[in-house]
Chain A
Amino acid sequence: MPGAVRPAPLRFGLVTSVVVVLLGFGGPGAAPGLETDQFFAWGRHVEDMSEVLNARVNLELERLVAELNREGRDRRCQRVRFRFFKRHRMLFFDGFETWSVNSPLVSRSPSGPEEMREFEQKYLYGGTSPLFDTGRWMPPSPTVEVDGIRLGTDKLTHLLGTAWYYHRWYRKARARGLTPAEAEDRAARRGLQHEITILGRAVSGVLSLADLEANYEGMWFYEHLCAGDDPHIVYEEGLWRLRRPFDLRDYVTPEWDESYQPNIYVRRKWGKVKPRMLGYCPMLEHPQVRARRQDYAKRERVTATEELIDEMVIAGKLPDPSGFSIESVCREAAN
């Protein structure tokens, strides 16, 4: 058969199978994870990064304003929102998160080679298979502190990246004539479905309520970026200007801390996570941990995401997240 590739489908298929299986089992290049672990940061000093992270986001807002002024004309707010989203959108992760896990200006945990090695041993999701647990195909997000609240840097991706899609769903619903409350509800439910299916539980076995909180808050960030009564960016007298700087403290709540707001796990994942979580029970008495959790309890409120989750729990569509809390795990172990 002149000129054609002599088919080698059998060999190709065999090699494909061998590569998939062999390289999967403990081969080099294993990825540590897609999740975040605030338990590891318990008892460790992490400086408050509110001002630093605000400065980073405000730098991008200032640059957006400068870019808009170079073009010298008014723009539809939705276009301005998209321009901001595009400025920091990267492959898979958000630019702000990438900066926060690398910049020497950001205090985070784990940090430095020694703590990184310790993290590899103690990582909450470290008990699962790096091959079959897709949540471990991506790097874990370190913990930072904002306004006294510990959160994974992945929340920056959720607040300023994933939330863009929430906001689009919100705007679409509004364009179809839904009231703001109905549109908000529509976006939050669609976001929950995404987190249950493609982004969270079905893929990694973890439904992160903290991620949902950040997504929800980010929707409002985008809504108020250049519209409403108190926008960040305005167009006045032929010029764009940053009217109100971004402040992460306006959005972050104790529910963003995954050691406080428990995730919902699928059974196979929970079986691996629970023993590692148990190891943190003695730390509940640590003065720093106790003080922080007491402070969280004072600041806690019932969020829109929590109301939605409660509704799903009552309907039997999700398990009660309180069963996955550290308090519940430690209480059960003590009995």
Chain B
Amino acid sequence: MPNTPFAAGALALGLLALPAAAQEVDDDSRPEPSSSDLAARVRADVDETSLRWLGIARVRYSIPLEFSAGGGAVLARMPASYDCATFCEYRGFVAQIEPGSAGAQLGVGYARVIAAQKPRSAFLNNVYVGWSARAVLVRTWGDSELDPARQTLAGFEGQFALPRITFNLGVLRRISSAHPGADRHVYTAGIGWGF
């Protein structure tokens, strides 16, 4: 599958091109007993939420992708007024495509990450701490350490991120055909930068 990295990269760029601005306003606030105007303003500030797409990126070395670069997005709901210049907690759906030297990975799942965002940036700029749990689909090719080198695998990956560094562990199950006696499971591990 020689074109897989390019296709994956194009899809990642497409995801990142999604607008980072507020896309939906939640008007689910219930009336609370309060007489003061200040209480009403605070309530409105907390309850007026929006969905935000924020781009994420990581580079890492992992088994079985080896050297790879990933791009994707986190979709999180939070109060619409938040600028996240100091930090915000982004909680929600995560999707990422990651082409590498020995394969490519598509992952979707749930993420919780404390991060800051620079003004007018569509990316999470400073990731302080976070984790994600993803269902992943992996296709390996030419340089893969796996035997056979070309395999399609599906499984789960857990990720833990600190400033500057990210770790992941996971398990994959082969879903493509292979020669008799080939292992069905591959354990994955990786280290890199980003989220």
Question: Interface residues, chain A, CB within 8 Å of chain B?
Answer: 1-8, 11-12, 15-16, 19-20, 23-24, 27-32, 51-52, 55-56, 58-59, 62-63, 66, 90-93, 98-99, 101-105, 113, 116, 130-131, 137-142
The CA of A139 and the CA of B164, in the complex, are separated in Å by 14
Q: Which of B119, B162, B163 contacts A113 (CB 8 A)?
A: B119
Q: Contact: A105 with B45, CB < 8 Å?
A: yes
Q: Contact: B181 with A2, CB < 8 Å?
A: yes
User: How many Å from the CB of B99 to the closest CB on chain A?
Assistant: 17
On chain B, the residues within 8 Å of A24 by CB distance are 164-165
Q: Contact: A55 with B38, CB < 8 Å?
A: yes
* Interface Cβ pair total, 8 Å cutoff: 151
Q: Which of B41, B89, B119, B162 contacts A98 (CB 8 A)?
A: B89
Question: Interface residues, chain B, CB within 8 Å of chain A?
Answer: 30, 32-34, 36, 38-39, 41-43, 45-46, 60-61, 63-64, 79, 81-89, 91, 112-114, 116, 119, 125-131, 145-147, 162-165, 178-179, 181-183, 186-187, 189, 191-194
Q: Contact: B82 with A91, CB < 8 Å?
A: no
Known: A8-B145, A104-B81. A139 touches B116 (CB 8 A): yes
Q: Contact: B165 with A20, CB < 8 Å?
A: yes
On chain B, the residues within 8 Å of A15 by CB distance are 61, 191
- Nearest residue, chain A, Cβ from B36: A55
- Nearest residue, chain A, Cβ from B64: A5
User: How many Å from the CB of A40 to the closest CB on chain B?
Assistant: 13
Q: Contact: B129 with A29, CB < 8 Å?
A: no
Which of B34, B39, B79, B187 has most A Cβ within 10 Å? Answer: B39
- Nearest residue, chain B, Cβ from A55: B42
- Nearest residue, chain B, Cβ from A15: B61
Q: Contact: A101 with B87, CB < 8 Å?
A: yes
The CA of A77 and the CA of B37, in the complex, are separated in Å by 31
The CA of A31 and the CA of B113, in the complex, are separated in Å by 14
On chain B, the residues within 8 Å of A104 by CB distance are 45, 81
Q: Can you name 17 extra interface pairs (CB under 8 A) apart from A2-B147, A19-B61, A91-B89?
A: A3-B183, A5-B186, A6-B145, A6-B147, A8-B145, A15-B61, A29-B125, A30-B163, A55-B39, A62-B33, A91-B91, A91-B129, A93-B114, A98-B87, A103-B42, A103-B81, A138-B128
User: How many Å from the CB of B92 to the closest CB on chain A?
Assistant: 13
- Nearest residue, chain B, Cβ from A110: B86
Which of B81, B113, B162, B163 has most A Cβ within 10 Å? Answer: B163
